[in-house]
Amino acid sequence: MTMTQAWSEEMVEVAGISLQMVKGGSGEPLLILHDEMGYPGWLKYHEALSKGYQLNIPFHPGFGESEELDWVMGMRDLAGWYLGCLDQLGLEGVNVIGFGLGGWLAAEMATMCPQQFKKMVLVDAMGVKPSEGEIFDIFQVVARDFIKDSILNSEATPEFQMICPDEPTPDQAENWERARETSCRLGWRPYMHNPSLPKVLFRLSRVPTLIIWGEQDPVVPVSAAQVYQQGIPGSRLEIIKNSGHRPEVEQADQFIGLVQGFLKG
C-alpha cells in the first residue's frame, strides 16, 4: 500500500523574493510561523492540525531556501514586509501560530494590522523583555547544543532525533547556521525583544490570543509570558509542565489539545 505524503513543498515568487513554503492538510487556512532555528520538519502536531486545517508554513526570508531581504534590519521591517506577502498569498484574516522568533513576528504584525489575524497562538515567543531573567543568547553555543538545551528532557522527547539528529546532514547544518545569522540580524540589539512592543499590545483587544509556554523554558523565561498576557486584553495563558522551549514536541498531545480547543472555540 502506497502512503500519500501529507504535505508538499514549493518555491513561490511573492513580494519581490522567492519564498520556500510547506503546505499540508485541508480546511480553513492556518498560518504557522517557525522559530529562530527554522522549520523543523513535519511533526506530530503538524499532522494533527492538518486534519482540520490547511497549514501554510513559510520559511522566513533568510531561512532555508528563502531569499534574503537585505533592507530588513529588524523585526518591524520584517513584519511590514510579511503583511504584504500575506496579502499576495491570499492569507488575510487567518488563524496564526507563532513559535519563538515567529511568535514575536506574529505579535508585531498583529499590532500593526489587527485585522490580519482571526485568532493568534503565541508559543514561548520572543519579542518582549522578561520581567525576571533574560532571554538566552543563542549564539553562546553551537546550533545543535542550543536546540538540545532548549528541550527539558531530550531523551524523553520522541521527535528529538528528527529535529536535532546526532549527525545532521550538511544541508541541515547549513540551514541552522543561516537561521542563526538571520536571527542575529533581526534581533541583536536590543537582544531578541522590542522595547516598544508591550506599549502597543493593547491593539490586540479584538484578536483572541492563546499564550502557551513551557514551565521550564531556558530560552525565554516564563515571566515573558506574563508580560504578553498582561499586555493583550482578554488573552489566556497556559503553562505546560515538564516542558522547556518547545512544548509542541516535548508535550505534543497536551499542546495539540490546547490549540485545537482554542481554534474551534
For the chain, what percent of residues have pLDDT higher than 90? 97
Classify strands 17-25 and 53-58 as parallel, antiparallel or unpaired. Answer: antiparallel
Using a cut of 0.95, tell me whether the model's pTM lies above it.
yes
Domain ranges of the chain: 7-264
Q: What is the mean pLDDT of the chain?
A: 96
The reported pLDDT for the residue numbered 5 is 81
Q: pLDDT for 28-85, tens place per residue?
A: 999 999 999 999 999 999 999 999 999 999 999 999 999 999 999 999 999 999 999 9
pLDDT at 2 over 50: no
**Residue 179 and residue 59 in contact, taking contact as beta carbons nearer than 8 Å:** no
Closest-CA residue to 225 (of 135, 152, 108, 123): 123
**Residue 91 and residue 175 in contact, taking contact as beta carbons nearer than 8 Å:** no
Q: Side-chain half-sphere of 97: how many Cα atoms within 13 Å? A: 24
Say which CATH superfamily domain 7-264 falls into: Alpha/Beta hydrolase fold, catalytic domain (3.40.50.1820)
pLDDT at 1 over 80: no
